[in-house]
Amino acid sequence: MPLADRRPLRIALLGCGVVGTEVARVLTSDAEEFARRIGAPVELVGIAVRRAGRRRDLDVPEELFTTDAMGLVTRGDVDVVIEVIGGIEPARELILAALEHGASVVTANKALLAEDGETLYEAAAKAERDLYYEAAVAGAIPIVRPLRESLAGDRVTRVLGIVNGTTNFILDAMSTTGAGFADALDEAQRLGYAEADPTADVEGFDAAAKAAILAGLAFHTRVTISDVHREGITEVTAADVRSAEEIGSVVKLLAICELDAEGAVSARVHPAMIPTSHPLASVRGAYNAVFVESEGAGQLMFYGPGAGGAPTASAVLGDVVTVAQHRLAGISGVGESAHASLEIVPIGRARTRYHVAIDVDDRPGVLSAVAQAFAAHDVSIKTVRQEGHGGDAQLVVVTHEAEDAALSATVADVRELDMVRGVSSVMRVEGVS
Ligand code: HSE
């Protein structure tokens, strides 16, 4: 049967911001190409928006726009719903209603997936429809599909990601210019890389949601954002960035998902020093990258733009093609894989290395007292050096791998020592083999 004679696949779009506009633009302007790739014509049947009558830079019939999102997803003849509204509600109730009414769903909603992915997955399984979300993690970078499908026959042991472009831009600017956090944030806002309210990015919430999704996929275990330890970059100083340089490293905000020796999962987001020789150290500006370690494949890195209209729309549209093909074939694709149900451990049980800068009196016995505090908690010192002298003396300690709780207890004891004026910085060191 000629393509044009086939029943069109009906697509509804929820949200028409930067990403939604680009999705609608490409879907309509490249409709013939999409029809060939999918095997049937596609028809955009409605675009749900918050406010009617707003001027949009989009060449589609005005009657496609509606403020009745629920009416659009429940009309009963929609094959694929694309959700790019974001946030928890009304996105959750719209996605659930879409699935109940027979549509497959493509979403970019990291916050919802990280908070309540379980409900969405269960609804998709019950409806025998697809729930695809490549755009929810790291924008255009294919990482969800590789974890869900390409690596399904392997055993992933660690995922290290730079999954927030705003913070990577700020940290990169601090490293390049020597600026402090506040100045680098100002510059990022001026250039449009940071929002007017940058909290979700700079406090690590955005990265923590992505870490929860990555950890769940990597370890076949339900992980929510509340399982992810989160520290942002607001406390990172120009001195931290210089200290990183002293040990041949750069500071990055990392999402780290790993299996420990006992087979338990930890997921954390925090600034960390990584050696300049590590592939993630070369990720500059607002770019994202995800570094995956697995038993079979070894080390893999996925790199690219993690935000923006066209890059995010690329990921959304890739999912649209796949779920549309599934609809035509009468099948659904990969669902939730949480059978391993591994223990998720708190940050105290995570093991890594640390860089600790301690302001001390410059006199005999200080090094020995500090070293004893580390030894008392079984934290082994790899290197120690003194910076400055007299009133400016600082001991910079880099440890071997230790438990996070042991390091915290060490730092608490070090702060109590008479000859210690303060602990000016504690930063984890990652990516050291
Ligand atoms: N605000 C995010 C970033 C993109 O800066 O990478 C959307 O998750």
| pLDDT tens for each residue of 354-407 | 999 999 999 999 999 999 999 999 999 999 999 999 989 999 999 999 999 999
Q: Are strands 287-294 and 42-48 parallel, antiparallel or unpaired?
A: unpaired
Instruction: Kindly state whether residues 292 and 358 are assigned to the same domain.
Output: no
Angstrom distances, CA of residue 407 to CA of 232, 240, 252, 375, 413? 19, 18, 20, 11, 10
Determine, yes or no, domain membership for 34: yes
What pLDDT, on the 0 to 100 scale, is given for residue 428? 98
Q: Are 59 and 27 in contact (CB under 8 A)?
A: no
Q: Is pTM, for the whole model, over 0.95?
A: yes
Determine, yes or no, domain membership for 338: no
Instruction: Kindly state whether residues 121 and 220 are assigned to the same domain.
Output: no
Q: Are 373 and 358 in contact (CB under 8 A)?
A: no
Instruction: Kindly state whether residues 285 and 320 are assigned to the same domain.
Output: no
Rounded to whole angstroms, the Cα distance separating 246 from 388 reads 14
Rounded to whole angstroms, the Cα distance separating 158 from 356 reads 25
Determine, yes or no, domain membership for 275: yes
Output the CA 255–ligand 1 centroid distance in Å.
13
Instruction: Kindly give the number of the ligand 1 atom that is closest to the alpha carbon of 167.
Output: 5
The mean pLDDT of 307-332, rounded to a whole number, is 97
Cα dihedral sign, 340-346-351-354: positive
Instruction: Kindly give the number of the ligand 1 atom that is closest to the alpha carbon of 288.
Output: 6
The mean pLDDT of 171-181, rounded to a whole number, is 98
CATH code of the domain containing 416: 3.30.70.260
pLDDT digits (tens, 9 = 90+) for 343-363: 999 999 999 999 999 999 999
The mean pLDDT of 257-263, rounded to a whole number, is 96
- For 279, the token pair is 């592939």
What pLDDT, on the 0 to 100 scale, is given for residue 272? 98
Rounded to whole angstroms, the Cα distance separating 406 from 397 reads 15
The reply to whether 252 belongs to the active site is no
Ligand 1 pocket list (CB less than 6 A): 164-166, 201, 206, 306-307
- For 355, the token pair is 């860089």
Q: Give residue 62's pLDDT band: very low, low, confident or very high (50, 70, 90).
A: very high
What pLDDT, on the 0 to 100 scale, is given for residue 3? 84
Output the CA 28–ligand 1 centroid distance in Å.
26
Amino acid identity, position 367: L
Binding site listing for L-homoserine: 195
% of the chain exceeding 90 in pLDDT: 96
- At residue 54, does pLDDT exceed 90? no
Average pLDDT in the chain: 97
> Which of 283, 114, 120 has the alpha carbon at shortest distance from 211?
114
Instruction: Kindly give the number of the ligand 1 atom that is closest to the alpha carbon of 110.
Output: 8
Sheet holding 9-14, edge to edge: 65-66, 42-48, 9-14, 80-83, 104-107, 131-132
What pLDDT, on the 0 to 100 scale, is given for residue 339? 97
Instruction: Kindly state whether residues 321 and 358 are assigned to the same domain.
Output: no
The mean pLDDT of 77-104, rounded to a whole number, is 98
- At residue 433, does pLDDT exceed 80? no
Residue 391 class from Cβ within 10 Å (0-12 exposed, 13-18 middle, 19+ buried)?
Answer: exposed
Residue listed under structure tokens 């209209």: 309
What pLDDT, on the 0 to 100 scale, is given for residue 61? 93
Instruction: Kindly state whether residues 280 and 171 are assigned to the same domain.
Output: yes
> Which of 38, 48, 41 has the alpha carbon at shortest distance from 13?
48
The mean pLDDT of 149-171, rounded to a whole number, is 98
Determine, yes or no, domain membership for 165: yes
Q: Are 108 and 312 in contact (CB under 8 A)?
A: yes
Rounded to whole angstroms, the Cα distance separating 105 from 162 reads 27
Determine, yes or no, domain membership for 344: no
Output the CA 167–ligand 1 centroid distance in Å.
9
Q: Are 92 and 120 in contact (CB under 8 A)?
A: yes
Domain total in the chain: 3
Instruction: Kindly state whether residues 113 and 148 are assigned to the same domain.
Output: no
- At residue 4, does pLDDT exceed 90? no
Output the CA 29–ligand 1 centroid distance in Å.
27
- At residue 42, does pLDDT exceed 90? yes
Pocket residue to mutate for ligand 1, from 112, 113, 166, 252, most atoms within 8 A of Cβ: 166
CATH code of the domain containing 194: 3.30.360.10
Question: Residues 126, 210, 252, 382: which is the catalytic one?
Answer: 210
Please identify, among 275, 296, 329, the residue that sits at the C-terminal boundary of a domain.
Answer: 329
Instruction: Kindly state whether residues 105 and 199 are assigned to the same domain.
Output: no
Q: Give residue 337's pLDDT band: very low, low, confident or very high (50, 70, 90).
A: very high
Binding site listing for NADPH: 110
Determine, yes or no, domain membership for 358: yes
Determine, yes or no, domain membership for 163: yes
- At residue 55, does pLDDT exceed 80? no
Q: How many CA atoms lie within 13 A of 207 on its CB side?
A: 35
Instruction: Kindly give the number of the ligand 1 atom that is closest to the alpha carbon of 306.
Output: 6
Domain extent, residue 174, equals: 144-305
- The DSSP secondary-structure symbol of 296 reads T
Instruction: Kindly state whether residues 48 and 64 are assigned to the same domain.
Output: yes
Instruction: Kindly state whether residues 122 and 271 are assigned to the same domain.
Output: no
pLDDT digits (tens, 9 = 90+) for 267-317: 999 999 999 999 999 999 999 999 999 999 999 999 999 999 999 999 999
